[in-house]
Homo-oligomer: A and B are copies of this chain.
Amino acid sequence: MHTRILNTLGLAAVTVALSATIVRAADALPSWQDGAAKNTIVEFVAKVTKEGGPDFVPPAERIATFDNDGTLWAEQPMYFQFLFALDRVKVLAPQHPEWKDKEPFASLLKGDLKSALAGGEHALLEILATTHSGMTSEEFDTVVKDWLATARHPTTGRPYTEMAYQPMLELLTYLRASGFKTFIVSGGGLEFMRAFAEQVYGIPPEQVIGSTGKQKFELREGTPVLVKQPAVDFVDDKGGKPIGIQRVIGRRPIAAFGNSDGDLQMLQWTAAGLGPRFCLYVHHTDAKREWAYDRQSSIGRLDKGLDEAKAHGWTVVSIKNDWKHVFAFEMK
């Protein structure tokens, strides 16, 4: 009987291998310009999937990790999760009359973001903690999904989920068809990202790694719930990214994709493994179709990472030059 099961599983493996060949044969990355960036991706995938080749990597070890903000979807004029938090403050304000006299909420409610954020990181954390706690994980999931269904990006007027980068969506699909397991590894909130990652990116909840707040298990009239607490548990940024990867995946990625200095440690950790490795930075160079920013930006700063990418020969994607389309809505 074991032999029969093994044969059956063997057949499934052959089927998956075949579908990978089909994808490679056609153009799996139509929104990418033909050129060096695209070639480095396709060559890497061909190399690690070539059975019997010197660089072959078994499917279980084909781990690819992606930053989210600025890598899979846009992050300007502000991180979308922060825009969610600002909207949330307005929704919650009627239940908090005391906010009228309490910063950063008082300024926020007057529409004065600059004064609200004058309190620096403390003000920011207070806004995030207040809007991301005091409810169960399931309630929060509903709140985020409702917001995504109705909120619109301030400059494009599009739903936030349409601000995903079309070339990166193609890349995710291409890698998965080539036997890769794709993970998000982002400084963004874990449960915020899970609310759309499966629908937008095809990435299931167990393949999302993010920052977390503390949680508390409670029985409410006999029903168990997980309640989000107003305290930071883990920040999945910079050196936190390899730690989050080790904690959740327990294998070192063979490919990593980011866009800022916050991703540098993830790329270093990936590059330092044995065997073939692939590291890629998305460089925001397109002020017309998207935004142009790097070394001086307060959001998504790419400074040290740009130097390291050059020093180590990592792939740097210029959005302006390497992507035919940025967003799917341009193509309609």
**What B residues does A194 contact at CB under 8 A?**
250
Annotate A1-29 by CB proximity to B: 1 below 8 A, 0 otherwise.
10011001101100110110011001000
- Provide the residues of chain B in CB contact with A215, threshold 8 Å: 243, 246-247
Q: Which of B8, B15, B251 contacts A22 (CB 8 A)?
A: B8
Residue of B nearest to A265 (CB): B217
Q: Number of contacting residues on A, CB 8 A?
A: 48
Cα A224 to Cα B22 with chains together (Å): 37
Residues of B within 8 A of A19 (CB): 4-5, 8-9
Number of copies: 2
Contact of A249 with B205 in the complex, beta carbons under 8 Å? yes
Q: Which residue of B lies closest to A216 (CB)?
A: B239
A-B contact pairs, 18 of them (CB 8 A): A1-B22, A5-B19, A8-B16, A8-B19, A12-B15, A12-B16, A194-B250, A204-B250, A205-B251, A206-B206, A208-B250, A215-B246, A216-B239, A217-B265, A219-B268, A224-B269, A226-B243, A248-B248
Q: Lowest 3 CB-CB distances: which A-B pairs, in order? A: A205-B250, A217-B239, A8-B19
A positions within 8 Å CB-CB of B? 1, 4-5, 8-9, 11-12, 15-16, 18-19, 22-23, 26, 60, 137, 177, 181, 190-191, 194, 204-206, 208, 212, 215-217, 219, 223-224, 226, 238-240, 242-243, 246-251, 265, 268-269, 272
